[in-house]
Chain A
């Protein structure tokens, strides 16, 4: 498993640097705006109160004054929408953890070695988690380097709290993508489905702030439990633990599925979803690897 972990983590190094440095730079850039906004508080208040309440609710705030607090500022300007941006990484990485190599045919060679499916899955999942932590760490570093000299006055520990909340959210979508990649016909379908669920969850949760009828549905959205920048004011550790628990549940289901299914041959995997495909006489639902 260690060899699998090291190899998988090495394959993530480009993404760690790309995502991590980009997010770190963005964090540093946005942080410098706090003082500007704080100094222009009255003007911004007038501007924000002129916005429709629905728009404010959509960007995770109903209280415009909160925007001028450190936690509110970071939540509105960064952590509210960053979930969708970094969520792309979680969805693509999660769906490609196994299905990517399976569809390319590379998984056959690895599993022909004395590596159990459990060890392979565990090694790759741990590498994914490590990559996510590394990306968020670089992001966090961007904040730490930029905050001194601003009016934010936040410690490194306080700045880590929104990162933890973000980690919980990304873990859910990464594990869900992994599970879907083992249930659906291909990595592409799994990534597309996970992406739709990511965006839909975000919108349902946002719309629920405007429409009370959606509150029950919003409770099924992971975004409902995501604190973002507001974690600085008080981290809900039990909620974070529950989010990690849900991601673990998805990972266990993925393991259960992976242990039992055939490994697809290289080149297999398409858009056809068996349930939706019309059943025709003589049509094969699964590709015969011997067929040319």
Chain B
């Protein structure tokens, strides 16, 4: 496996009894990128990450992390990775400093304590606080610090900004970017589509245990559906616009205003609108959310 591929899985399978959590998951994460892993609860995100760390064993398929098989070399894989679990639990009898020192001792003291202090300062974390008295957000901060403090080659982050206020979210995302800029590869799962859109170089969408789409974030958004709102000077018969390929009228706000969905280039629509008395023309920047939700629209339709 080329060293430029940091995570590689082929046909990954994992079942819990009769429930298939992963169904032939194929995944490739390149070195030095920030890869966003999107999916709702139950899609298989946490199961995937736990397979990468040998916390659970897949039933089929192959997985390689940093060129190693996690089942054969789990300690070697974990030595070079930093992990932030989706749910954090620390020894309640410790202080923040105690907890970080203990976790650092498991890495033979690899982390530079000055760097630990720098990280804590960045996200406003008091080392002297007792774990038992921490809010969920502050516990998350401890989790972020322990994942980053030893400057790992690979970061596995499960919902990294969960429970954090917007200011600290921004700091954490900045730390993630700095980690990438320092040469680390970042693999993170999230429900917050805006943050994935903001920092991820590539996005993978997981649905029912399989990756259904992987692409550069910008390209994925570019391929997606655009929205436009057109207001005419007077009522017009706009249904002719739907005869254009890729154009669909979503709604009519009133007899002069329509909302359109455009697939592909906007040029066709703009040229067609030239024949109409247009008063206002607004377009919406497409979002990752629409791409994401489109993969689940079929499920919701069936559910309804």
Contact = CB atoms under 8 A, between A and B. Distances in A.
Nearest to B106: A113
The size bracket of the interface on B is 35 or more
B44 interface: yes
Contact of A3 (B19, B91, B106): B106
Interface stretch (B53-61, B115-123, B173-181, B268-276): B53-61
Contacts of B78: 111-115
A43 interface: no
A196 to B, nearest CB: 27
Q: Which of A7, A114, A282 has the most CB of B within 10 A?
A: A114
Interface string A10-26: 01000000000000000
A284 interface: yes
B45 to A, nearest CB: 7
A105 B85 contact: yes
B53 A115 contact: no
B55 A112 contact: yes
Contact of B17 (A11, A105, A110, A285): A285
A150 interface: no
Contacts of A282: 18
A262 interface: yes
Nearest to A285: B17
Contacts of B93: 11
Given A3-B105, A104-B89, A109-B83, A290 B44 contact: yes
Contact of B89 (A106, A286, A292): A106
Contact of B75 (A4, A106, A114, A288): A114
A288 B19 contact: yes
Interface of A: 3-4, 7, 11, 101, 104-106, 108-116, 260, 262-263, 265-266, 282-292
B75 A290 contact: no
Contact of B88 (A109, A113, A284, A291): A109
A37 to B, nearest CB: 43
Q: Is the interface of A mostly helix, strand, loop or mixed?
A: loop
B243 interface: no
Interface string B146-187: 100000000000000000000000000000000000000000
B55 A114 contact: no
Interface string B48-73: 00100101110000000000000000
Given A3-B102, A106-B91, A266-B89, A288 B53 contact: no
A232 B75 CA distance: 48
Contacts of B53: 111-112
26 contacts: A3-B102, A105-B88, A105-B89, A106-B89, A108-B55, A108-B85, A108-B89, A109-B83, A109-B88, A109-B90, A109-B103, A112-B83, A115-B75, A115-B78, A116-B74, A116-B75, A262-B56, A265-B50, A265-B87, A284-B17, A284-B18, A287-B16, A288-B16, A289-B16, A289-B50, A290-B47
Contacts of B85: 105, 108-109, 112
A288 B42 contact: yes
B301 interface: no
B17 A286 contact: yes
A287 B53 CA distance: 19
**Which of B56, B78, B81, B87 neighbours the largest number of chain A CB atoms within 10 Å of its CB?**
B87
Given A109-B83, A114-B106, A263-B56, A289 B47 contact: yes
Nearest to B83: A112
A4 B78 CA distance: 16
B79 interface: yes
A109 B44 CA distance: 19
Nearest to A290: B42
B21 interface: yes
A201 to B, nearest CB: 34
A290 B207 CA distance: 12
B116 to A, nearest CB: 15
A292 to B, nearest CB: 4
A290 B103 contact: no
B136 interface: no
Contacts of A109: 83, 85, 88-90, 103, 146
B224 interface: no
Contacts of B18: 282-285
Contact of A114 (B16, B41, B42, B79): B79
Nearest to B42: A290
Nearest to B109: A3
Contacts of A287: 16
